Amino acid sequence: MKHGCKVCMGEAVKAALRENECGAHVEEFGNCIGVVDGPVVYNVTEKAIFGCKEITPDGDEPVSYGPEVDVYWLPSWLRYAYHPDQLQGVNMIIAIDGPAASGKGTLAKRIAAHYEMQFLDTGALYRATARDLLATGGDLHDVERAVHAAQNIDAATLDDPHLRDPGIGEAASKVAPIPQVRAALLDYQRRFARHPNGAVLDGRDIGTVVCPQADVKLFIKADVEVRATRRFLELSQNGLEISERQVLQDLKQRDARDRERASSPLVAAADAHLLDTTNLDIEGSCSAAIRLIDAVFGGGGKTV
């Protein structure tokens, strides 16, 4: 099992552990999600006991690796060794939704790094669609050309800094409501969510449409005035000249379009955890989110 894989105990293993008088261990961790930290390292004496493969790096003492792997159990982060046969892989999905400038993007990146999961900013897909459509002289309301742009996105360009330009964000909010565009990008997002190490996706319809089966759903919100200030400071730091009043007006218009569109409107999933970041900085928001996620992971999420 590779480093970072998410795992849980299988039912057969739980039963075997109980038979071997390890019921307390099952009670504590049997419904938890674990993170594989890598193969267990043994010394030469232990090799004779466990029958592990000996590896002798140049100039170093002989050591042995595996077959057992170290697993950190969430939310305690206590570590124990297990044979891979005692574990089963888990594809964890964390869905993070919310309006523009609520802080969900930065939060999602940090959460992905914390749990060693893959991250996808789904908003970048719509911004890239708008960018590529405009680059060819296309009209933002031209459905056929918008769908063509969505179907031909180059994933290598999703970190293009120009995708954060206000004009691209505004254009993206106009192509995003097109049902055919959303359908064209839906398969890409769902395939990404199936990454074996788990995935964190942020957007506006992840928990309701893209991954309704997500193990954890967070809906991030904040007062629009606070969001406008955050976005204004971000744009100013990037050298873009725009007034805070204009940013506020743009956000209000985007909120209205996102909530009122017929296809996949912005709405919190019924089983989402709400997190208001109005009075929280990024550190406080991240800590609050991790506490919510750990509470779910510690109970096994929806996968055990």
Q: What is the DSSP string of 31-45?
A: T--EEEEEEEEE-HH
The β-bridge partners of 54 are: 64
Q: What is the pTM of this model?
A: 0.80
Rounded CA-CA distance 2/243 in Å is 49
Residue 82 is predicted with a pLDDT of 92
Q: What is the DSSP string of 91-144?
A: --EEEEE--TTSSHHHHHHHHHHHTT-EEEEHHHHHHHHHHHHHHTT--TT-HH
Residue 169 is predicted with a pLDDT of 87
Domain boundaries, the chain: 6-90, 93-294
Residue 263 is predicted with a pLDDT of 83
Furthest CA-CA distance within the chain = 72
Strands (E) located in the chain: 6-9, 34-42, 53-55, 63-73, 78-82, 87-90, 93-97, 118-121, 199-203, 216-221, 273-276
Q: What is the mean pLDDT of each run of 10 residues along the chain (304 residues)?
A: 86 92 93 89 54 50 74 90 91 95 94 92 96 95 96 94 88 92 94 92 96 96 96 89 93 92 91 96 95 80 40
Residue 152 is predicted with a pLDDT of 95
Choosing among 3.30.160.270, 3.40.1190.20, 3.40.50.300, 3.40.462.40, the CATH entry for 93-294 is 3.40.50.300
